[in-house]
């Protein structure tokens, strides 16, 4: 059976789910700049909301860049970088920024445990956990300060929604969604 990609079908799915931005591929500085401009226009006069949304997009993009198991060679960076997807959807009262990328299946349980734990914390406990984690030595396999998920929960003031879907013995697809209320930027 010959299946061809339907742009019309894709358009209708994006429209149905109120997805105003969808990007798939290597995340670059140029792409982040374009997303930033789009968010600034979309959030109108609420500059604080635009900044929070952009910070969430950047954090999700960094996770893809550093940790995706699907890699592509970046001429600009002269190295292999992660490939994934980022979407932004809108409801009347909030935005949801989501990302997805392949991960090594062996890392899935640790990611699940960390997200589950973060989701049990209130704002004050998140702040404390963030401070504790900053003081710890950087884990060997970490490319950053190991604060990304905590930062996402703090910036959004909402639980992290995530799923880990096995796609093969070696890989799973990790989806992470962060919701931010439109009135939370003021």
Q: Where are the domains of the chain?
A: 7-185
Cβ burial 136-152 (10 Å sphere, 16+ → b, else e): eeeeeeeeeebbbbbbb
Pick the CATH number of 7-185 from 3.40.50, 3.40.30, 3.30.70, 3.30.565: 3.30.565
Give the pLDDT score at 45: 67
Give the pLDDT score at 186: 47
pLDDT tens digits for range 38-51: 777 776 667 888 88
List residues bridging with 102 in a β-sheet. 173
Confidence of residue 142 (pLDDT cuts 50, 70, 90): low
State the virtual CA torsion across 172, 70, 26, 67 in degrees, nearest 10: 70
User: pTM of the entire structure?
Assistant: 0.87
Separation of alpha carbons 138 and 147, rounded Å? 10
Nearest alpha-carbon partner for 34 in 22, 44, 18: 22
Question: Under 8 Å CB-to-CB from 44, ≥6 apart: which residues?
Answer: none
Beta strands in the chain (DSSP E): 19-26, 71-74, 79-90, 94-104, 161-166, 171-181
pLDDT tens digits for range 28-83: 777 777 887 777 777 666 788 888 888 899 899 989 988 999 999 888 878 888 89
């Amino acid at each position: 059976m010959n299946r061809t990609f339907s742009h019309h079908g894709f358009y209708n799915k994006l429209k149905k789910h109120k997805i105003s931005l969808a990007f798939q591929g290597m995340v670059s500085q140029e792409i982040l700049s374009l997303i930033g401009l789009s968010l600034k226009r979309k959030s109108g006069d609420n500059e604080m909301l635009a900044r929070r949304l952009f910070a969430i997009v950047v954090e999700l993009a960094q996770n893809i860049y550093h940790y995706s198991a699907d890699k592509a060679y970046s001429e600009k960076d002269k190295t292999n970088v992660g490939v994934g997807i980022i979407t932004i959807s809108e409801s009347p009262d909030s935005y949801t920024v989501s990302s997805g990328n392949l991960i090594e299946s062996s890392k899935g349980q640790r990611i699940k445990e960390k997200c589950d734990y973060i989701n049990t914390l209130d704002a004050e406990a998140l702040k404390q956990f963030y401070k504790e984690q900053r003081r710890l030595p950087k884990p060997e396999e970490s490319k950053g300060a190991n604060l990304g998920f905590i930062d996402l929960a703090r910036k959004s003031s909402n639980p992290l929604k995530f799923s880990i879907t096995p796609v093969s013995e070696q890989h799973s697809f990790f989806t992470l969604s962060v919701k931010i209320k439109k009135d939370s930027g003021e």
